[in-house]
């Protein structure tokens, strides 16, 4: 049985993330999307808001759970009984960081394998920061994120403006 974890900040979730989620749901028996509560970052959305948004946009898949976490990823994976970590690779620039992270995680917990899915070409340029920046300047973000995210970002209008 493959129980996989797809971890990230998801601030906010984009179509690029959803592409990886959709394909991971097809590969794994169960997919846990791990939403990182990182005290070192100042996210636009609280971890609770990010979990709610993710639940809202992943309702079409039955083998998925959205779970917040903090601390080490491998500890979270072991706690959830997951044997696979999924990461998306958008471009060669992602590779070095992802390689280091997967090797570190392998030393920490050798039984957990990291697998990489290449992000769909149409989303290889995309990041959550790009979405926030375009929104801050009043640009159209409908190419990047689902309707639910647009609505939630509208509610944060003041906070997004202060990014710049
Ligand atoms: N499509 C679109 N964007 C994508 C993407 C995809 N398929 N994959 C990644 N991104 C973007 C994200 O939007 C994000 O953009 P941003 O920097 O503008 O916010 C960026 O790539 C990186 O995001 P993410 O994949 O969420 O990674 P992260 O760096 O926030 O967190 C963790 C990665 C959670 C896996 C890592 O920090 C972690 O494991 N932390 C726990 C602590 C730990 O165990 N550390 C030891 C490991 S070495």
CATH at residue 17: 3.40.50.620
Q: Is 100 inside any structural domain? A: yes
The sign of the CA dihedral 136, 139, 141, 143 is: negative
Q: Is 60 inside any structural domain? A: yes
Task: Dig out the tokens for 40 from the structure.
Answer: 């070192």
Q: How far apart are CA 137 and CA 83, in angstroms?
A: 42
Q: Quote the number of domains for the chain.
A: 1
Q: Is 130 inside any structural domain? A: no
Whether this prediction's pTM lies above 0.75 is answered by yes
pLDDT tens column, 76-96: 999 999 999 999 999 888 999
Q: Is 151 inside any structural domain? A: no
Q: Ligand 1 pocket test: which of 13, 118, 127, 141 has the largest number of ligand atoms within 8 Å of its C-beta?
A: 127
Q: Ligand 1 pocket test: which of 73, 114, 129 has the largest number of ligand atoms within 8 Å of its C-beta?
A: 73
Q: Is 156 inside any structural domain? A: no
Q: How far apart are CA 95 and CA 82, in angstroms?
A: 23
pLDDT tens column, 10-64: 999 999 999 999 999 999 999 999 999 987 888 999 999 999 999 999 999 999 9
The verdict on whether 17 is a catalytic residue reads: yes
Domain that holds residue 7: 3-124
């Amino acid at each position: 049985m493959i129980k996989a974890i797809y971890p990230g900040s998801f601030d906010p979730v984009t179509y690029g993330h959803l592409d990886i989620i959709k394909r991971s749901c097809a590969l794994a028996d169960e997919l846990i999307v791990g939403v990182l509560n990182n005290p070192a970052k100042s996210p636009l959305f609280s971890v609770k808001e990010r979990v709610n948004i993710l639940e809202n946009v992943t309702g079409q898949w039955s083998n998925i759970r959205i779970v917040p976490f903090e601390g080490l990823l491998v500890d979270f994976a072991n706690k959830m009984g997951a044997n696979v970590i999924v990461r998306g690779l958008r471009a060669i620039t992602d590779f070095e960081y992802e390689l280091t992270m997967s090797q570190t995680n392998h030393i920490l917990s050798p039984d957990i394998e990291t697998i990489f899915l290449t992000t769909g070409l149409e989303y290889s340029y995309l990041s959550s920061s790009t979405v926030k920046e375009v929104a801050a300047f009043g640009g159209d973000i409908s190419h990047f994120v689902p309707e639910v995210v647009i609505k939630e970002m509208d509610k944060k209008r003041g906070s997004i403006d202060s990014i710049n």
